[in-house]
Amino acid sequence: MFNFLMSGAVLVVALSKTTNIDLGTDDVVTTFFLYYFIGLVISRVGSLLVEPTLKFLRVIRFRPYPEYVQAAKLDAKLDTLSQENNTYRTLIATFLVYLAIYLTDKHAHQAVAGKSSLIFTVGACVLVILFAFAYHKQTKYITERIKAALATKP
């Protein structure tokens, strides 16, 4: 949860300071949920785009998931380290999303003036696709975890 709030807040503040985009509100509850939702989207970008790209480039390598499940039973700190690892991935995604929005704001502002409904429609479609892939990935993760847990059962 903190991961989502932090990345959402970082993006909103960075955009408000460097672009014409100001997503800030005076309502604390609305701001909380806005930061959380933006952070959730950023996290999915990290999971579905950043992680596979870094794997493809061989910047990172993972052990097979059944090995992780077994090792996590022996070393409780692995879950904490994995959460920290996901925070770093989400921060990478935060700055990539920031750069994409910043460059779009700076270079395409005039080209899209008056076409905000098209932008919102495309944005909503992108979010549907992003979360459909996230749902697929999470379901696969859960089934792999079940399989690994049952394989290590005495």
Distance of CA 84 to the CA centre of its chain: 14
Contact 90, 39 (CB under 8 A): yes
Task: Report the range out of 8-12, 104-108, 120-124, 138-142 with the highest average pLDDT.
Answer: 8-12
* pLDDT confidence tier of residue 115, bands split at 50, 70 and 90: low
The identity of residue 16, as a single letter, is: S
Rg of the chain (C-alpha set):
18
Residue 113, pLDDT score: 55
Report, as an integer, the average pLDDT of 28-56: 94
* Domain spans in the chain, listed from the N-terminal domain onward: 2-151
What values do phi and psi take at 89, rounded to 5?
-60, -40
Instruction: Give per-residue pLDDT as tens, 46-76.
Output: 999 999 999 899 888 888 888 888 888 888 8
